[in-house]
Amino acid sequence: MIRRLSEISWDDFNRLSPAEKNPYLVENNRPVHVLVAQQFDRKQMDDLGSLATRIRFIAKNYRGMEFLHGLMKYERAMLYFSQPSTRTFLSFCTACEILGMSIGEVRDTITSSEFKGESHEDSVRTFSSYFDLIIMRSEIGGLAERMAWVLSNTDRPVPIINAGSGKDQHPTQALLDVYTLQRSFEESGGIDGKTIVYVGDLARGRTVRSLASLLTNYRDVRQYFVSPKALQIGEDVISMLKAAGVKYGVSEDFEQMIPQADAVYMTRVQDEWDEKKGQSKKIDTSKYHFTVKHLDILKPDAVIMHPFPRRNEISPEVDNDPRAVYWRQMRNGMWIRTALIATIFSRDDEIRSYDLKKK
């Protein structure tokens, strides 16, 4: 049974858990909107990963790039980024360009009518009049969901992709993280059975929250959260892992956990969310930095990840170690987002049928 956002009130939709929202976000096995990490299951993630890899190979020559660029040259995308961003913005911008989409952008509400008091609803409805896709990033949690519901109740229900909302969700970052793990472990049995160690500001890191949820789709994945008590993961994530039957652990001992890790996922202190300016500086995070000495106790086939931007939580001296995959992780974002947009607009079958032997 197909469920549509136009068939449910905002209050009822908002009360649903992220997993319960999924039926309203999918039609014909394709995402209508991309709002929460929990809307993706393992098959969808594996399909997106294989599509992203195929796009990478197609893009290796001029003919392939011409093919990709012609897929969506009549569609237009609005990048509505009211929260500062470098990698996510450029990644989405490049993904749209690979597919031939025209792009518009608002990167600061001071340049839009919101500066004059226009509501988010009116701004997004305005964008939907000119564009076929809205990619939005906001410091306001749940705003992308609200805007998707609003548009679904208009005569112009264009797709919305959540590129980061408040402290709660960053679904496409989680997808690129999963894709990075898929690529990193493709010769060692895949993600199943691996141990993921998250380090740093886990209380306010939306990337960790989204990835922890997606990894419950894989078998026997162990997830450990390492940080000072003040920055430890929230009880909602722990409850989610318990309900999924996932083995997890909470620790303050970083060095003890490193030898157990197949993937170390480092994060910075998210001090932009401080309730009182400067309060994060009172927390000692010096024991949660990955340095050159830690390479000696890390498994030879493990990987080090980071969603960026980084500060001093990973020493630059670690960058040249082959286990440091965070630069590849960043590039993976461009490919997985290209695959995601192509899937939303039903161009994935054309990509899969493309003859890679063409020169």
Point out the residues that are catalytic: 87-88, 116, 137, 170
Q: Look-up: residue for tokens 């020559």?
A: 61
Distances (CA, A) of 32 to 180, 230, 357: 24, 38, 33
Considering only CA atoms, which of 326, 354, 349, 347 is closest in space to residue 265? 326
Question: Scanning the structure block, which residue is given the tokens 């390479």?
Answer: 295
For the beta carbon of residue 312, count every other beta carbon within 10 angstroms: 12
The answer to whether 89 touches 308, Cβ cutoff 8 Å, is no
The amino acid occupying position 171 is P
Q: Are 75 and 132 in contact (CB under 8 A)?
A: yes
**Cβ count within 10 A of residue 14:** 13
How far are the Cα atoms of 25, 133, 316 from residue 141, in angstroms, in the given order? 18, 20, 32
Q: Label residue 55 exposed, middle or buried (CB < 10 Å: 0-12, 13-18, 19+).
A: buried
Rounded Cα gap, residues 2 and 291, in angstroms? 50
Closest CA to 334 of 176, 106, 178: 176
* Positive/negative CA dihedral, 102, 108, 109, 110: negative
Give residues with Cβ within 8 angstroms of 80, minimum separation 6: 105, 106, 123, 124, 127, 134, 135, 136, 137
Helices (H), 215-354: 235-243, 254-257, 326-344, 348-352
The token pair at 7 is: 């068939």
C-beta separation of 328 from 180 below 8 A:
yes
Q: Could you write out the DSSP letters of every residue in 305-316?
A: E--S--SSSB-G
